[in-house]
């Protein structure tokens, strides 16, 4: 990798990697630091974007409409993107969700405008329900990361936490990681590193959602005549803005918010038997409305509150600014003068000295941010903005070896008993 980079800071272009790394190092040391991770942070571990999800899921859904094939083809045609080939999966599934609601109304005796089409195409409610169940199961399957052929990619998430936590001081707020992803890559990385993550759930035999868990902290007590408390450095706050693969609904009387967290294996077992569906905001056009419900509203509220703190930095990696409910919170956060933002966006290119985002409409939120030429905002583009490259090459190095790694090496060398 050469030293030439694609980076715009306000109205200035930065071309030297050393300058970028120096700036990022300073941000890692601000009082309040948070990261926003999008789907790009999971792609290299086997995650799929919406186009790839469509190619995997639509053939499976088609099997539900064998006796109503003209309807399925008409539905696909209605939701083809401008390239004339790719189906807009979000809008396609949203249409099915709406049809399910209409079908439920008809089953209760209401007459709707869908009745004629339903009769014409021989559409049954069970077909729609089956299609949506397949969709949910497929999303669960495709978000179970890392995939078998990319198990080593979890190391990048581990390196991310190592590097960032190494630059945090004892008198600063806890690192906050916000993510729109459903997968368990952050949790798996933290578990393997011995990092405690506060994700809103409390309990051992039964993990139940309590928002106040985010307000807790961990300290180490020194044993002796004079008990002293010390800052326990391996703690992060983890906010799953769109839910998680392992969150499910619970009607238990002792569960005030009716949400609990299961192990991945238990959720997978129950998914196979159609017993449950994880609590997630599935990628549909209805996701903005769904985000106003609990627990998503609580996560988004805390995201907004974090950005309005003084001396705060937000670093986005893998986030393409396509979620309006998240964009609106970032927009509101930028009203805080001391907020600083760095966004790693591989789609940002530089040709003949000019920066461009050709696959984003001119009126898109991210283009507006760039055109604002705000000195508080930096964009990094090209290959350096991809997840693995960002973590390995752009984030500053860890000065010391991880003590846990040294312990493992010593035990391996001396022979485990």
The predicted model gives 27-33 an average pLDDT of 97
Percent of the chain with pLDDT over 70: 90
Residues 209 and 128 in one domain: no
Distance in angstroms (rounded) separating the CA atoms of residues 12 and 155: 34
Please state which of the ranges 43-52, 297-306, 330-339 shows the lowest mean pLDDT. 43-52
Residues 41 and 129 in one domain: no
290 lies in some domain: yes
Residue 415 lies in a domain: no
Q: Are residues 36 and 56 in the same domain?
A: no
Mean pLDDT of 286-310: 82
198 and 340 assigned to the same domain: yes
User: In 103-250, which ranges are E strands?
Assistant: 175-179, 196-198, 201-202, 207-209, 219-222, 228-231, 235-240, 247-249
**């109304």: which residue's tokens?**
105
Q: With contact defined as beta carbons under 8 Å apart, do 221 and 227 qualify? A: yes
Residue 414 lies in a domain: no
In a 13 Å sphere around the CA of 37, the CA atoms on its Cβ side amount to 23
**pLDDT value at residue 146:** 97
Inter-residue contact 62 to 73 (CB < 8 Å): no
pLDDT-derived band at 354, boundaries 50, 70, 90: confident
Domain boundary among 92, 111, 142: 142
**What CATH number does residue 213 fall under?**
3.40.50.1220
Q: Which whole number is the average pLDDT over 170-188? A: 95
Tell me what pLDDT residue 385 has.
Answer: 98
- Tell whether 268 is covered by a domain: yes
- Higher-pLDDT residue of 138 and 412 is 138
Residue 231 domain flag: yes
In this structure, the answer to whether residues 156 and 88 fall within a common structural domain is: no
Binning the chain into helix, strand and coil, the percentages to the nearest 5 are 45, 20, 35
Is 230 domain-assigned?
Answer: yes
Reported as a single tens digit per residue, the pLDDT across 261-286 is: 999 998 888 887 765 666 666 655 55
Q: According to the model, what pLDDT value does residue 404 have?
A: 65
Residues 6 or more apart whose Cβ sits within 8 Å of residue 370: 8, 355, 357, 379
Q: Is 178 exposed, middle or buried (0-12, 13-18, 19+ CB in 10 A)?
A: buried
CA-CA distance, 65 to 403, in Å (whole number)? 57
Q: Is residue 396 part of a domain?
A: yes
Q: Write down the pLDDT at residue 17.
A: 95
* Residue 412 belongs to some domain of the structure: no
Does 343 lie in the same domain as 218? Answer: yes
CB-count burial class (<10 Å; 0-12, 13-18, 19+) for 193? middle
Check whether residue 277 and residue 397 sit in a common domain: yes
| Distance from C-alpha of 184 to C-alpha of 64, rounded to nearest angstrom | 30
Asked if 256 and 313 sit in the same domain, the reply is yes
pLDDT of residue 52: 85
The pLDDT assigned to 67 comes to: 87
Domain, as residue range, for 111: 50-142
Confidence of residue 249 (pLDDT cuts 50, 70, 90): confident
pLDDT of 329 above 70: yes
258 in the same domain as 336: yes
Instruction: In whole angstroms, give the CA distance from residue 116 to residue 114.
Output: 6
- Whether residues 201 and 166 share a domain: the answer is yes
Residue 213 clears pLDDT 70, i.e. is over it: yes
Q: Are 180 and 39 in contact (CB under 8 A)?
A: yes
pLDDT level of residue 287 (50, 70, 90 thresholds): low
Residue 9: predicted pLDDT: 97
Mean pLDDT of 333-344: 98
- Last residue within a domain, chosen from 111, 142, 173: 142
Mean pLDDT score of the chain, rounded to an integer?
A: 88
Same domain, 231 and 173: yes
Range scoring the smallest mean pLDDT among 13-22, 139-148, 286-295, 373-382: 286-295
Please, what is the Cα angle at 111 between 108 and 114, to 5 degrees? 110
Among 142, 176, 197, residue at a domain's last position:
142
Query: For residue 367, what are its two tokens?
Result: 């283009």
Across 15-24, 120-129, 239-248, the highest mean pLDDT is recorded for: 15-24
Closest by CA position to 135, among listed 62, 224, 26, 237: 62
What mean pLDDT do residues 287-316 have? 86
Which pLDDT band, with edges at 50, 70 and 90, does 400 fall under?
low
Q: Is it the case that residue 196 has pLDDT exceeding 60? A: yes
Note the pLDDT of residue 351: 83
- Pair 136, 158 in one domain: no
Q: Could you tell me where the DSSP H helices lie in 34-153?
A: 50-62, 69-78, 89-107, 114-121, 125-142
Cβ–Cβ under 8 Å, residues 164 and 35: yes
Distance CA 309, CA 338 (A): 8
Token duo for residue 7: 């980076």
**Whole-prediction pTM value?**
0.88
* pLDDT at residue 388 in the model: 98
Residue whose entry in the numeric block shows the structure tokens 């997630």: 280
Which of 103-132 are b and which e, b meaning 16 or more Cβ less than 10 Å from the residue's Cβ? beeeeeeeeeebeeebeebebeeebbeebb
| Residue 183: predicted pLDDT | 96
Instruction: Return the pLDDT at 1.
Output: 44
Domains identified in the chain, total number: 2
Closest CA to 197 of 184, 245, 343: 184
Q: In which band, very low, low, confident or very high, does the pLDDT at 49 lie, cut at 50, 70 and 90?
A: confident
């Amino acid at each position: 990798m050469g030293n030439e980079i694609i980076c715009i800071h306000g109205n200035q272009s930065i071309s030297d990697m050393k300058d970028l790394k120096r700036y990022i190092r300073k941000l890692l040391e601000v009082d309040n630091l948070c990261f926003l991770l999008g789907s790009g942070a999971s792609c290299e571990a086997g995650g799929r974007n919406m186009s790839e999800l469509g190619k995997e899921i639509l053939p499976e859904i088609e099997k539900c409409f064998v006796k109503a094939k003209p309807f399925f083809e008409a539905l696909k045609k209605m939701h083809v993107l401008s390239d004339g080939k790719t189906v807009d999966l979000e809008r396609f599934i949203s249409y099915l969700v709406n049809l399910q609601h209409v079908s439920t109304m008809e089953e209760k005796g209401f007459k709707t405008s869908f009745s004629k089409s339903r009769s014409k195409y021989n559409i049954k409610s069970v077909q729609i329900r089956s299609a949506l169940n397949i969709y949910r199961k497929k999303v669960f399957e495709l978000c179970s990361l890392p995939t078998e052929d990319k198990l080593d990619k979890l190391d990048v998430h581990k390196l991310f936490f190592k590097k960032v936590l190494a630059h945090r001081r004892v008198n600063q707020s806890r690192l906050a990681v916000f993510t729109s992803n459903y997968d368990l890559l952050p949790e798996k990385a933290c578990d393997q590193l011995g990092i405690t993550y506060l994700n809103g759930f409390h309990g051992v035999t039964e993990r139940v959602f309590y928002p106040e868990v985010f307000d807790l902290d961990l300290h180490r007590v020194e044993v002796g005549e004079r008990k002293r408390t010390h800052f326990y450095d391996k703690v992060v706050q983890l906010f799953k803005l769109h839910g998680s693969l392992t969150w499910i609904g619970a009607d238990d009387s002792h569960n005030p918010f009716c949400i609990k967290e299961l192990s991945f294996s238990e959720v997978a077992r129950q998914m196979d038997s159609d017993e449950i569906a994880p609590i997630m905001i599935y990628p549909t056009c209805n996701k903005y409305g769904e985000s106003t419900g609990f627990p998503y509203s609580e996560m988004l509220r805390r995201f907004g509150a974090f950005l309005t703190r003084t001396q705060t930095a937000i670093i986005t990696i893998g986030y393409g600014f396509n979620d309006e409910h998240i964009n609106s919170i970032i927009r509101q956060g930028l009203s805080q003068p001391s907020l600083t933002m760095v966004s790693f966006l591989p789609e940002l290119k530089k040709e003949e000295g000019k920066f461009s985002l050709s696959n984003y409409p001119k009126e898109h939120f991210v283009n507006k941010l760039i055109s604002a030429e705000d000195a508080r905002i930096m964009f990094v583009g090209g290959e350096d903005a991809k997840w693995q490259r960002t973590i390995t090459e752009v984030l500053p190095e860890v000065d010391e070896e991880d003590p846990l790694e040294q312990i493992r090496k010593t035990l391996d060398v001396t022979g485990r008993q």
